[in-house]
Amino acid sequence: MSNAQLILIDKRNQPLKEYLVAVAASDGLQIKGVEVMASPAKGETSLLNAQVIIPPLEDYDFKVPKLVDALLEQLIVEEETLKLAEFIERCSEDDLVRQSLKQSEKRLRKKLEELLKEFCQSEVIDLIRERRNDALYKLKKHSDELKGKKVVCIDIEATNISTDPEADIIQLSACDGHGKPLFNQLINPGYDIPENEKHNITTEMVQNEPSLAQAWDEIHDCLRDADYVLAYSTESDFMYLEKSAEKKMLRFELDYNKWLDVAELSKDLIGALRWHSERMYWFYKTPKLTDAYARILKKPFPGDAHDALADAQATVDLFNEMLQLGKQSQIQEKKKSAAKKEQITNNLFAAAFANAKRK
């Protein structure tokens, strides 16, 4: 007879904060000090310990039993992921010990359910759901607005980030709303391209390519004549174009009001809600293009994530899939409240959170 059992160890130094709930809602979360321990008997050294990963709550519709199932499929032992059955097998070669551990699974599940209820019963969950519904309604409207319109999706590679005044464009690529390439142009900046992990473009690759001034008219007019321009982070791409035109004294007739930011739309739809502890406010973290693509299209990101044309085509695929999600949703426009409540803060997230608490 064995007294071995599975125990949930919780060594947190403070109660679970609601900002942890928000992180787990989109990303999953490993909490330091929360482990599953296989104990041979009370007071004896553990057979084996595993780190607990809180699964992404949204992926399981905030259902605690489903979350427990998922959690027990990914116990972490020394950076190796094990299912509970594998964890038990690893604990001991003694069949009686293994059987005793299996018999204690029901009690472990109950403890895990108590832990996960702290996440799923938080007011923050209402904020997340409201944000997702708003995103679907916005996408539903875009689906109607873009019918029959000329859509161009652009992506840019440059020597540095868009806020650097010395940054120069070294690749400009675009496709139409169906992913068909419109242009894919390497640009010679006139100097050696510094190494940069953001792209794979070398000085040798652009030696025989035109300068931005030489390629500008065709690219500029294609963007100007589009009904809508898409980009994954329109602010940076538009800034590259605007600053380059100013620096090189090129004509600039692009209207930012016609640009749609796919990064912002994906942030609303799947972005992780974070708590900024220093500034004391909530904010949504924008997912990377590769992550948003894999999550929404449910398949790996295709091609090279540092190639402008590949990124533009992936952005179109992502956008079209999000439009479908909006179109298929049953989301209706929210009715405006007759009595507007007094806003107690100039921080929108704080106000939304206060409102959720009142409800």
Q: Which of 297, 286, 236 lies closest to 263, judged by CA?
A: 286
- Provide the H-helix boundaries in the chain: 18-26, 64-71, 84-91, 95-103, 105-120, 124-145, 203-206, 212-224, 234-247, 262-270, 289-297, 308-328, 348-358
User: Percent of the chain scored above 90 by pLDDT?
Assistant: 69
Are the C-beta atoms of residues 159 and 189 closer than 8 Å to each other? yes
Chain segment 167-220, per-residue pLDDT in tens: 999 999 999 999 999 999 999 999 999 887 778 899 999 999 999 999 999 999
Q: Which of 197, 142, 143, 191 lies closest to 170, judged by CA?
A: 191
* pLDDT exceeds 90 at position 33: no
pLDDT of the residue at 20 = 75
Chain segment 116-133, per-residue pLDDT in tens: 998 898 888 888 999 999
- Alpha-carbon span 57 to 339, nearest angstrom: 34
Q: Which of 153, 155, 158, 164 lies closest to 201, judged by CA?
A: 158
* pLDDT exceeds 70 at position 71: yes
Q: Which of 155, 162, 152, 170 lies closest to 240, judged by CA?
A: 162
Tokens of 264: 């912002």
Which segment, 15-19, 254-258, 281-285, 329-333, is predicted with the most confidence on average?
254-258
Mean pLDDT of 21-42: 85
> What integer best gives the mean pLDDT of the chain?
88
- Helix-helix angle 105-120:95-103, to 10 degrees: 40
What's the DSSP call for residue 194?
P
Sheet containing strand 228-231, strands side by side: 181-186, 169-176, 151-158, 228-231, 259-261
Mean pLDDT of 79-86: 96
Name the 3-class secondary structure at 47: coil
